[in-house]
Amino acid sequence: MKREVAHISNTLRVGLAQIAPVWLNREKTTAKIVNSIEKAADEDCQLVAFGEAVLPGYPFWIERTDGARFNSSVQKELHAYYMNQAVHIGSGDLDSICEMSAKRAIAVILGTVERAGDRGGHSIYCSLVSIDQRGQIKSVHRKLVPTYEERLTWAQGDGHGLRVHKLGSFTIGGLNCWENWMPLVRTALYAQGEDLHIALWPGSVRNTQDITRFIAVESRSYVMSVSGLLRKDDIPTDVPHAAKILSQCTDIIADGGSCLAGPDGKWIIEPVADREELLVATIDHEKVKQERQNFDPSGHYSRPDVTRLVVNRKRQTILKITE
């Protein structure tokens, strides 16, 4: 049943979809995401978010298979397989997700591994995709700096996706994983009016338990940390070199840690670990206004005459064609 897009309200019902992908399988993981969107809509959510790189999965093989070895046939085969399963937006790989978003009038924040056609189609990016309640892709933010071993498979992104989007009374922005530790990048979103920050993670309570509340207090915003989950049993045996990967895995590879903090830094949902779950809460924009009374980092508690931030939002490319 299609639900009408909600009128502007002070409240917003949000869902944090902590799911495990069908690891490195784009088609089956997409079906699982579509099902989760429908479940969130059934819970009257107006927004649902998923973890970092959940479609088709985080590159957990790198640290388990000597990923830094140069010219390794194992790493080449796994990287090519990953590229084949990555999301090519221009080819319609997100169409079923957008269609469910439109059908149920629910906005979606989705962590993907993107095979970017505008960069030649042979490099992949950790991308946060923002889809509105009409099923329209509003922005694609490519992770600025892949973290540590991620650099062995993901390319560096750019500032094009450092954008916020309105949903009801809220202004929503988001970042991937350790980008959330980058103060200037956070500031780029704060200065555009962000008051609901969505932090996507591959899955670890140790990552979310401190920074979620810290960003909430710093920004006086609601902060959703949404994590993936991966267990040893979630790794399909048909993935290249599966036996080698599995031999180095514990039972829990990524334990989740999805959570939600209010603009006062207090928990609304404490970190949830070791299970797939749709976490749901209703948040109230009035709390943002109350907490901004004594601190607003880009408003009355800023000094643009002393310090200012410059952001380059051009989509980077090596090619400019003039005919």
Q: Catalytic site residues?
A: 52, 143, 177
**SS3 of 12, please?**
strand
Question: Collapsing DSSP states into helix, strand and coil, what is residue 57?
Answer: coil
Q: Distance between CA 184 and CA 304 in Å, rounded?
A: 14
Tokens describing residue 194: 């962000």
Angle between helix 183-190 and helix 205-219 axes, rounded to 10 deg: 50
Residue with tokens 């093989």: 61
Looking up tokens 């990552």 gives 207
At CA 144, angle to CA 297 and CA 101, rounded to 5?
85
The one-character DSSP state at 87 is: B
Burial of 298 (0-12, 13-18, 19+ CB in 10 A): middle
User: Of 247, 241, 253, nearest to 76 (Cα)?
Assistant: 241
- Collapsing DSSP to helix, strand or coil, 192 comes out as coil
